[in-house]
Structure 1
Amino acid sequence: MNYLVIKCGGSVFEALPFSFFEDIVNLQKNSPYQPVIVHGGGPLINSLLERLEVESPFVDGLRVTNSEVLDVVEMALSGSLNKQIVRKLHKAGGNGFGLSGIDGQLLTAVPAGENHSLGFVGKVSEVNSVIVDQIAGLGYIPVISPLGIDEQGQTYNINADMAAASIAQALKAKLCFISDIPGILVEEHGEQTTLHQATAEKIEGLIEAGIIKGGMIPKVRSAIEALGHGVPEVSIINGMAPDSLTEFTNGEKIGTKITLD
């Protein structure tokens, strides 16, 4: 099956036009691509943690996660946002199937930080792609929240960009990061412009210069790692722009395409 993994952040999700979900359904019905959605949920998680007066600092774009934070993350991602996306796909005439990386041990996780410095933040060690194949084979659009589980049954919070990259690797799929900006922005002649193509070397230089920072760092580094493990193409595109997904799948010059060299 020709998969397209679409990663959608929580902040972007809240602002996406309904036509974006119609485009996903149209892709499944009328294109060679089978979409798979992986989503984050940062703003909702932040709001719930603030309401509960629970602190959760970030290190290099990754949320430090103790057991209390983990409960909130799971509630926000799997209990709320996942089902909102499934409902939107249904309203757009499609069939979404919501699940988390815990279900069926879809995402096997191991600790991401050294000596558990990030708490229950995980990275993906294995993807059970058979589950995705079976769901897609029944005509559904998989909608995946980025939680993982280890062999002892411990749940882990996984950065959604990293989870999407791991899933794309397992499916040998193109990977598309949905943003609310038209890609990586750089300054040229005093104006911001979209960098339509960026190599791994260029990206590391932009990180060192502080142009790429915060949550964009795990996004671009996940993209580079995915390209090194069989993902044929990774791009960052603006989900707010009409027909952006369609233009991407048609090979048009849109957003930032990330390459190894």
Structure 2
Amino acid sequence: MKTIVIKCGGSVIDQLTSEFFTSLKRLKNKGYQLVFVHGGGPDINEMLDYFQVKAAFHNGLRKTTKEALEIVEMVLSGKTNRKLVQLLREHDLNGIGLNGTDNNCINASLIDEEKLGLVGEVSQVNIRLLSSLLEENLIPVLTPLGITEDGRKLNINADYVASAVAKYLHAEQCLFVTDVAGILIDGELQARMAQEEITHYINTGQINGGMIPKVTSAIAALESGLNSVMIISGKKQFFDGEELIGTKIVVKEGIVE
């Protein structure tokens, strides 16, 4: 089973275009099964503000109290997930929404409860559940929530969930959906870059601004054990029927993917 995992940040979902969904259909027509993992940052922050729950971060990870986690889950499962599943439906694609805690889909362990609260890392993925859905030609749409062995729900960085799902499913590729076509150097789209090249261009300032968190998310996925990931656009075509369009990021040059 050829599988592609697609990570879509909460801020990007509202920017997805018909061209993006056409590319998804082309992938399906080529025999690929798809799995989505999504975030919900902007909506979560808005709701935390509404309920006057202070949002705090530590090393880029949201510090999650029990009160905050209830809101995080409410937004991810009740709003963001529904929105993405509905968008798939509107484009004749069969999405099925899943909370990462459903049927122990995403098993997790605490990172550091004292510093981060109820924030976890993926310890295992229920590939039997996901595979059964893929065999029914459904597109699982996962929230980045996990559950511990003793039943505690944890908030997990969506980038890490996507990379873990890709690793456990032996996916062909893990795609990071952004609002740009890929990495641009001097205005030119880079089809392929190694991790050390990206570090160099960040240091020279040629990768800057909002592009930095996009590439650091992709690099974090590589550090989880994937050989390559790809940055694509959610605002235009990213698959022409033959090739993916964007920037493939590899651990180092010489790796053939």
Q: Structure 1 length as normaliser, TM-score?
A: 0.86
* Residue pairs, 1:69-148, within 5 angstroms: 69-113=68-112, 116-148=114-146
Distance in 2 (alpha carbons) for counterparts of 1:208 and 1:78: 38
1:108 maps to a residue whose letter is: N
Q: Which stretch of the first structure deviates more once superposed, 129-138 or 79-88?
A: 79-88
Find out whether 1:13 has 2:16 as its counterpart: no
CA contact (8 A) 1:22 1:93 kept: no
1:165 maps to a residue whose letter is: S
How far does the alpha carbon of each residue in 1:129-176 deviate from its partner, in whole angstroms, 9 at most, with x for none?
111100111121111111000001111111111100000000111100
Q: Please tell me the root mean square deviation across aligned C-alpha atoms, in Å.
A: 2.2
Q: Which residue of 2 aligns with 1:196?
A: 191
How far does the alpha carbon of each residue in 1:53-96 deviate from its partner, in whole angstroms, 9 at most, with x for none?
21112233221111111111101111111112111212211211
Distance in 2 (alpha carbons) for counterparts of 1:46 and 1:193: 34
2:74 maps to a residue whose letter is: M
Distance in 1 (alpha carbons) for counterparts of 2:227 and 2:243: 13
The percent identity for this pair of structures is 39
Distance in 2 (alpha carbons) for counterparts of 1:8 and 1:71: 22
Structure 2: gaps spanning 5 or more residues: 253-257
- 1:240–1:9 CA distance, 2 compared to 1 (3 A): same
Distance in 1 (alpha carbons) for counterparts of 2:209 and 2:110: 25
CA contact (8 A) 1:172 1:232 kept: no
1:84 maps to a residue whose letter is: K
- 1:216–1:102 CA distance, 2 compared to 1 (3 A): same
Distance in 1 (alpha carbons) for counterparts of 2:87 and 2:9: 15
Distance in 2 (alpha carbons) for counterparts of 1:195 and 1:217: 13
CA contact (8 A) 1:203 1:220 kept: no
> How many aligned residue pairs are there?
248
Structure 1: gaps spanning 5 or more residues: none
Q: Which residue of 2 aligns with 1:259?
A: 250
* Residue pairs, 1:1-261, within 5 angstroms: 1-28=1-28, 30-113=29-112, 116-173=114-171, 174-186=173-185, 188=186, 192-205=187-200, 211=208, 215-216=213-214, 219-226=217-224, 229=225, 231=226, 233-241=228-236, 243-244=237-238, 246-247=239-240, 250-252=242-244, 254-261=245-252
Distance in 1 (alpha carbons) for counterparts of 2:67 and 2:5: 30
Partner-residue secondary structure (3-state), 2:87: helix
Distance in 1 (alpha carbons) for counterparts of 2:188 and 2:66: 42
Distance in 1 (alpha carbons) for counterparts of 2:58 and 2:197: 23
Distance in 2 (alpha carbons) for counterparts of 1:194 and 1:63: 32
Give 1:256 shift.
Answer: 1.8
